[in-house]
Amino acid sequence: AQSVSQHNHHVILSEAASLELGCNYSYGGTVNLFWYVQYPGQHLQLLLKYFSGDPLVKGIKGFEAEFIKSKFSFNLRKPSVQWSDTAEYFCAVKDTDKLIFGTGTRLQVFP
Amino acid sequence: DTAVSQTPKYLVTQMGNDKSIKCEQNLGHDTMYWYKQDSKKFLKIMFSYNNKELIINETVPNRFSPKSPDKAHLNLHINSLELGDSAVYFCASSQVGDFYGYTFGSGTRLTVV
C-alpha cells in the first residue's frame, strides 16, 4: 500500500518569506497526488492535484507543487507567504479506492 | 448550499453513551468516507461506502457502525463511547469513476468526558 511522508512537522515563517513543504510517497507507477489545506477550526480544502502531464501544478491562492518522479516527491511551494496562510497542510496520495494522508505540516506565518 | 454537510458540529457526551453523526452530500458522488482526525491532526480512514455498499472497513472497533441508507447519506453510530474516541470526525465524498479528490464536510468534534 502507498504511504506518504511529510518531514516538516512545524514551519514558522515571516510574511513574504518563501515556502517549501516536503512530501514523499512510497512507490512508483501511476500516482495521483494532492495537497489539502486545513485552516484553524475548518475542514480540509483542496489546494491542488497532480494526475499526469505537466509536473509543475498550479493551485489556488498562489500555491504550486512539483512532481519529481525520480525522487518520489511532490513538494508544495509558495514564493511569498501571507499571515492568512497559517494552517495545517496535508499531502495525500490515492491508493486504490481511498486517499492516504501524510501526518501534516503546521505552518505559522507571523506578520 | 453546502456540498457535504455533517451534523452535529460539536458533540460532548459521557463515557458509555451511544451517539450518532450524520453526513449528507448533494454533489451526486457515488462514494462516501469517514475519517478520524486525532489530536495530532493525523487523518485515518475508517470506512467507505460506494453506492450504499461497504467497501472499506479499516481496523476500527466494532463499537463503530456506519450506515448508508442511500448514496447521498452516510451516518456513523458509536456505541459505548470511550475517552479515546474523542477526535474530529470528517465525512468526505468523491466520484470513484471520475476521481478528482475528496470534498470534505466541516467535521464533527466529539468530546467524551
CA atoms of B45 and B103, how far apart (whole Å): 14
Residue B62 is predicted with a pLDDT of 92
Q: Which helix (H) or strand (E) holds A94?
A: strand A87-95
Percent of chain A with pLDDT over 70: 99
Determine the average pLDDT of the residues in A80-85. 97
Q: What is the DSSP letter of A48?
A: E
Q: Which residues does B contribute to its contact with A (CB < 8 Å)?
A: 31, 33, 40-43, 45, 48, 50, 55-56, 90, 96, 99-107
CA atoms of A85 and A103, how far apart (whole Å): 18
Q: Are B90 and B107 in contact, with CB atoms under 8 Å apart?
A: yes
Q: How far is B20 from chain A (nearest CA, A)?
A: 19
Task: Return all residues near B23 (Cβ < 8 A) that are at least 6 apart.
Answer: B4, B5, B6, B32, B34, B73, B74, B75, B76, B91, B105
Mean pLDDT, all residues of chain A = 94
Q: How many CB pairs under 8 A join A and B?
A: 48
List the single residue in A90, A98, A104 with the smallest CB-CB distance to B56. Answer: A98
Residue A19 is predicted with a pLDDT of 97
Residues of B in contact with A101 (CB under 8 A): 42-43
Residue B88 is predicted with a pLDDT of 95
Q: Which residues does A contribute to its contact with B (CB < 8 Å)?
A: 32, 34, 36, 38, 42-46, 49, 88, 90, 92, 94, 97-101, 103-104, 106
Given an 8 Å threshold on Cβ–Cβ distance, is B101 in contact with A103? no
Q: Is the per-residue pLDDT at B96 higher than 70?
A: yes
Given an 8 Å threshold on Cβ–Cβ distance, is A98 in contact with B42? no
Grid cell of B71 as nine digits: 448514496
Q: Give B58-92 pLDDT, tens digit per residue.
A: 888 999 999 999 999 999 999 999 999 999 999 99
Residue B56 is predicted with a pLDDT of 87
Mean pLDDT, all residues of chain B = 93
Q: Give A29-63 pLDDT, tens digit per residue.
A: 788 999 999 999 888 999 999 999 999 999 999 99
Q: Give B15-51 pLDDT, tens digit per residue.
A: 999 999 999 999 999 999 999 999 988 999 999 999 8
